């Protein structure tokens, strides 16, 4: 009994095309046994490999999810920090603008006060000078009037009246 399958023997034996249903001649039993053994042995080997691969993929996915969660938390924290920094920068900018306005107003106020003080000083100096000149003119006018009166009095008055007038004028000048 040969276990060799030959297409020519099959055609020659039947005289044409046909199917050989004899399990021993077609090695069907041997094929079933080999396939069964392969499935039984490979199931454990391939199954173990596939299970290890599945576990590795699940671990990688879990790790990726953890990293995504941490990255999301970091992003949220960074966005919060950015918002806080932007808010602080806006506060600093507003404070700077307000401080610049206050400095400008203070400077303008001091300038106006200084100008007013200078004007008051100038007016006071002018008034003092006017008073000094007025006093000087009044004294000069009085002196000239006295000299003129003294020059014209000897012709109009006698010696006793002239002496009384001079004494009175001296007293008036002493009171002034």
161 within a domain of the structure (yes/no) = yes
34 within a domain of the structure (yes/no) = yes
- What's residue 114's pLDDT? 93
- What's residue 2's pLDDT? 44
- What's residue 145's pLDDT? 84
168 within a domain of the structure (yes/no) = yes
Chunked into runs of 10 residues, the chain (176 residues) has average pLDDT values of 47 58 71 84 79 93 96 96 95 94 94 93 90 88 83 71 81 77
Q: How far is CA 89 from CA 79, 92, 99, in A?
A: 15, 5, 15
* Token pair in block for residue 169: 């004028």
Q: What is the pLDDT of residues 24-75, one digit of tens each?
A: 666 777 888 888 888 887 777 777 888 899 999 999 999 999 999 999 999 9
- What's residue 27's pLDDT? 75
Phi and psi dihedrals of 39, rounded to 5? Answer: -65, -45
- What's residue 17's pLDDT? 65
Q: How many CB atoms lie within 10 A of CB 142?
A: 14
- What's residue 85's pLDDT? 95
How many domains does the structure of the chain reveal? 1
- What's residue 1's pLDDT? 42
Cα separation, 28 vs 21, in Å, equals: 9
In 3-state terms, what secondary structure has residue 74? helix
pTM > 0.75: no
Phi and psi dihedrals of 170, rounded to 5? Answer: -65, -40
Within 8 A by CB and 6+ apart from 146, the residues are 169
Percent helix, strand, coil in the chain (nearest 5)?
90, 0, 10
115 within a domain of the structure (yes/no) = yes
In 3-state terms, what secondary structure has residue 97? helix
Cα separation, 35 vs 24, in Å, equals: 16
- What's residue 30's pLDDT? 80
Residue keyed to tokens 């009085």: 142
52 within a domain of the structure (yes/no) = yes
To the nearest 10 degrees (0 to 180), the angle between helices 28-156 and 159-175 is 170
Domain holding 128, by residue range, is 7-175
97 within a domain of the structure (yes/no) = yes
- What's residue 64's pLDDT? 95
């Amino acid at each position: 009994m040969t276990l060799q399958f030959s297409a020519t023997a099959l055609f020659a034996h039947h005289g044409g095309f046909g199917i050989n249903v004899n399990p021993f001649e077609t090695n069907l039993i041997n094929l079933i046994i080999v396939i069964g053994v392969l499935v039984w042995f490979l199931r454990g080997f391939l199954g173990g490999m596939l299970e290890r691969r599945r576990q590795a993929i699940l671990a990688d996915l879990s790790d990726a999810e953890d990293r995504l969660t941490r990255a999301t938390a970091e992003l949220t924290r960074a966005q919060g920090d950015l918002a806080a920094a932007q808010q602080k920068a806006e506060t600093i900018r507003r404070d700077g603008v307000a401080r610049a306005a206050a400095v400008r107003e203070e400077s303008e106020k001091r300038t106006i006060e200084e100008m007013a003080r200078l004007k008051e000083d100038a007016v006071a100096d002018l008034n003092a000078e006017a008073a000094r000149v007025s006093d000087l003119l009044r004294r000069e006018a009085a002196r000239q009037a006295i000299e003129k009166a003294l020059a014209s009095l000897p012709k109009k008055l006698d010696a006793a009246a002239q002496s009384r007038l001079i004494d009175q004028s001296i007293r008036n000048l002493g009171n002034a």
